[in-house]
Amino acid sequence: MTRAVCPGSFDPVTNGHLDIITRAAEIFDEVIVAVGNNPNKKTLFTIEERVALLKQVIADTGLKNVRVDHFSGLQVDYARAQKAQVIVKGLRALSDFEYEFQMALTNKKLAPELETMFMMTENKYAFLSSSLVKEIVFFGGNPEGLIPPVVLAPLQEKMAKVREKI
């Protein structure tokens, strides 16, 4: 059985993330969407909220071979603990590649038995990032088609609280 880990912050999950997850699910027997808890990253949603949103999004897709989990620490340690063979990373642009390539080489040094697979997102999501979605919602824009529908209300609530603090 081939098992892949698809790690990320997913703050919030976008349709670009979902594109990568869905396509990975077509390739691997099992895909673990692993929400990273990185103390160096300031997130809008708590790790529990991000996991809950992802679980709802995955349930809505009907993908039976995808599960959602969370982790702290190194991706390779988590992947090993899950007995995964592959780490799947989505790429949008050359700037993503530079960072992810460096990470993949480092991961290969730390865990030679793990492979990293890069997947290019569909063209229609090549510009999309969680940061961009948050900015659109912050300024009252409509992110329809950029995020799964279940993400909209919680994101609007969070961004309203951010606006109140300013």
The reply to whether 95 sits in an annotated binding site is no
The alpha carbon of residue 131 and the mean position of all alpha carbons in its chain are separated, in whole angstroms, by: 12
The reply to whether 115 sits in an annotated binding site is no
Given the residues 17, 50, 134, 158, select the one marked as catalytic: 17
Given the residues 50, 130, 134, 158, select the one marked as catalytic: 130
The reply to whether 129 sits in an annotated binding site is yes
Pairing of strands 3-8, 115-120: unpaired
Give catalytic status of residue 92 as yes or no.
yes
Q: Cα separations (Å) of 71 from 98, 101, 127, 131, 135?
A: 24, 21, 27, 21, 26
Among candidate residues 107, 53, 33, the one with its CA nearest the CA of residue 76: 107
Give catalytic status of residue 70 as yes or no.
no
Q: What is the DSSP letter of 121?
A: P
The reply to whether 53 sits in an annotated binding site is no
Give catalytic status of residue 130 as yes or no.
yes
CA distance 153 to 157: 6
The reply to whether 100 sits in an annotated binding site is yes
CA distance 16 to 88: 14
The reply to whether 64 sits in an annotated binding site is no
Given the residues 3, 70, 92, 108, select the one marked as catalytic: 92
Given the residues 41, 42, 109, 165, select the one marked as catalytic: 41
Give catalytic status of residue 41 as yes or no.
yes
The reply to whether 164 sits in an annotated binding site is no
The reply to whether 125 sits in an annotated binding site is yes
Summarize the annotated binding site for substrate as residue ranges: 9, 41, 89
Summarize the annotated binding site as residue ranges: 9-10, 17, 41, 89-92, 100, 125-131
Summarize the annotated binding site for ATP as residue ranges: 9-10, 17, 90-92, 100, 125-131
Tell me which residues are annotated as active site.
17, 41, 92, 130
